[in-house]
């Protein structure tokens, strides 16, 4: 009987350790000027997510499948500055300044589909973008996209 409790106790410890391995929450910068400042200081590209966080089904799915994955969180911590250009129906979800920044970015990049992701260099030049998210909910194209954008950014910064 003691062996049984010992095995249960050890199993609980391993489950607890594996659950603590998850990566922390994403650090979405609240202002675009703040994101640019950090990007310049850290020499990182900015990933801009254009989303309708409270109404867009595909945006919600992409967030759940891609942005909330541990794999993306690990990449984001080391390789990106994150900015969310949110266009919610509930206007209380964004500040007046965020709304202004988001509209400027939407116009600058001609975004008309949600979700759209733009990756720009630390000076604001577009590196690459990807639009939409499939009902199949397959994130492999998004991972290929960020890998390609990081490679392009690294080539540009070594020139």
As beta bridge partners, residue 35 has none
> Buried b vs exposed e over 35-64: b needs ≥16 C-beta within 10 Å?
bbebbeeeebbbbbbbbbbeebebbbbbbe
Convert the pLDDT of each residue in 18-47 to its tens digit. Answer: 444 455 789 999 999 999 999 999 999 999
Contacts (Cβ under 8 Å, ≥6 apart) of 13: none
Convert the pLDDT of each residue in 118-137 to its tens digit. Answer: 999 999 999 999 999 988 89
- In terms of Cβ atoms closer than 10 Å to its own Cβ (0-12, 13-18, 19+), residue 66 is buried
Task: Tell me the C-alpha distance between 42 and 58, whole Å.
Answer: 31
Convert the pLDDT of each residue in 59-109 to its tens digit. Answer: 999 999 999 999 999 999 999 999 999 999 999 999 999 999 999 999 999
Task: Tell me the C-alpha distance between 150 and 144, whole Å.
Answer: 10
| The model's pTM | 0.84
């Amino acid at each position: 009987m003691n062996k049984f409790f010992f095995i249960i106790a050890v199993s609980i410890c391993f489950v607890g350790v594996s659950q603590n391995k998850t990566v922390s929450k994403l650090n979405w910068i609240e202002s675009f000027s703040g994101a640019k400042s950090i990007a310049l200081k850290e020499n990182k590209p900015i990933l801009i997510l254009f989303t309708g966080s409270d109404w867009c089904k595909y945006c919600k799915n992409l967030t759940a499948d891609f942005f909330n994955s541990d794999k993306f969180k690990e990449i984001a911590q080391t390789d990106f500055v994150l900015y969310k250009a949110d266009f919610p129906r509930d206007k209380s979800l964004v500040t007046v300044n965020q709304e202004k920044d988001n509209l400027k970015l939407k116009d600058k990049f001609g975004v008309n589909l949600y979700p759209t992701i733009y990756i720009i260099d630390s000076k604001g030049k577009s590196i690459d973008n990807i639009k939409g998210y499939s009902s199949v909910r397959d994130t492999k194209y998004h991972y290929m996209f960020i890998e390609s954008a990081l490679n392009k950014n690294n080539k540009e910064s070594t020139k």
